[in-house]
Amino acid sequence: MKWFKSFGAILAAGVCLCVALSCTTGWERTASRTVPASTDEREYGPESAGAEGSWTESDANRDLMLFGQGNPARDVAFQAKAATNLQQHTPPSEGADFDPALDASASTIVFASTRHSPHSHLYTKPAQGATITQISDENASDAQPVYSPDGKQIAFASDRAGHWDIWLLDADGRNPRQVTNNPMPELHPSWSPDGKQIVYCRVHPQEGQGELWICDVDNPGVKRLIGEGLFPSWSPKGDAIAYQRARARGSRWFSIWTIQIQENEALFPTEVASSTDAAFIAPCWSPDGTRIAFAWVHSPDSRNEAGQAVRRGRSDIGVVDVDGRGLQRLTSGTGEHYSPSWSSDGRIFFTARRNKTETIWSLRPFRPSGFETPPALTGSRKAAQVIETVD
């Protein structure tokens, strides 16, 4: 299992995608990055025939394009699936915008960006506005910001203390304070619905594995290990945490799991979504806690709907019901779409990349007429399968 030499570079380039490429399958550290170039609400279609299958062995000799650097790639648009109203929220810049998250009112976006510095800093902007405000400016990298439920604080990952840890700061950028302090990278904070706890992951780079930890916000010295996994996301109902986890055999693809939180115990780890030719990573919950969005990272050996080979580095946004049914891919194309974040107004915000730009977009998912409304939550994957059989 290979890891990049610079862990900070992984984060600034989109840590979720890079982790999937480097530790899940042992792929070469290469990718060609393309994303949509238009914000129209029409259905996006693939470019000229053969483009999606244009990956060649020569791509294996090209380094992963970090911070938008590298040879220009062709513009390739989305093919919208079960989603409407595609919008672009940040303009192209010399750097990259990534890791979007919304406050509880869905009116303000916080995100990380390298638009003004080689280091990634934190910025905010109105979801429907154009002004961008920088709220962190350390000689270090900040990433993966997320608002507290009351919108007063932002938790994020930063290497400002010499290694990646979880930090907090006020929503206006004041009063930064360190929550964790460990030589191992600690990443991807997610708040409990009551704002009293944060779940995060501790990464073991040499092993390509991670641990899930919970700490008290007011007493960060109190921490507890709840299991193995990466990139946790706390359910808005407070009773479960979604995360990604790699198989211990075969392809070692990441898949989406949930674990139940009952009276401070972590119970019933359940695989919700998986694929034989893709990694499912970076889950996030719908506002009602019934669905999970995630990044769908394709194998270079997989095929698209037209039977063409998928270009290396392609990833899409997918959704699945929490009981494992209703698996859908919301985007399709040859680009890279990752770091989804589901806002309270029902939109999914995510990062999209093409050529030398990496910007933030959003779409509104819908349930096609052939899909049933998700049933009541079940305690396990096995129980969900029983319900499906009975139906």
Output the tens digit of pLDDT for each of the chain's 391 residues. Answer: 333 233 343 343 344 444 443 343 332 222 222 222 333 322 222 222 222 332 233 333 222 222 222 233 333 334 445 667 889 999 998 899 999 999 999 999 999 999 999 999 999 999 999 999 999 999 999 999 999 999 999 999 999 999 999 999 999 999 999 999 999 999 999 999 999 999 999 998 777 679 999 999 999 888 999 999 999 999 999 999 999 998 777 667 899 999 999 877 888 999 999 998 899 999 999 999 999 999 999 876 655 555 555 555 689 999 999 999 999 999 876 679 999 999 999 999 999 987 778 999 999 998 765 555 554 444 444 433 333 333 3
pLDDT of residue 372: 56
Which domains are present in the chain? 7-390 (2.120.10.30)
State which amino acid sits at residue 281. I
State which amino acid sits at residue 285. W
The sign of the dihedral angle between the CA atoms of 256, 33, 190, 84 is: negative
Q: Which whole-number Å values give the CA distances from 194 to 172, 215, 286, in the listed order? A: 21, 13, 17
Could you give the count of Cα atoms lying within 13 Å of 99 in the half-sphere of its Cβ?
33
Q: How many CB atoms lie within 10 A of CB 276?
A: 9
State which amino acid sits at residue 327. L
Cα gap 72→86, rounded to integer Å: 24
Instruction: Enter the DSSP assignment of 343.
Output: -
pLDDT of residue 67: 25
The sign of the dihedral angle between the CA atoms of 254, 284, 243, 124 is: positive
CA neighbor of 118 nearest in space, from 134, 136, 94, 101: 94
Cα gap 211→202, rounded to integer Å: 5
pLDDT of residue 314: 83
Bridge partners, residue 95, by sequence: none
Sheet strands side by side (includes 177-178): 142-147, 153-158, 165-170, 177-178
The two beta strands, 209-216 and 197-204, are antiparallel
This prediction's pTM = 0.76
pLDDT of residue 191: 98
Cα gap 22→208, rounded to integer Å: 8
State which amino acid sits at residue 308. Q
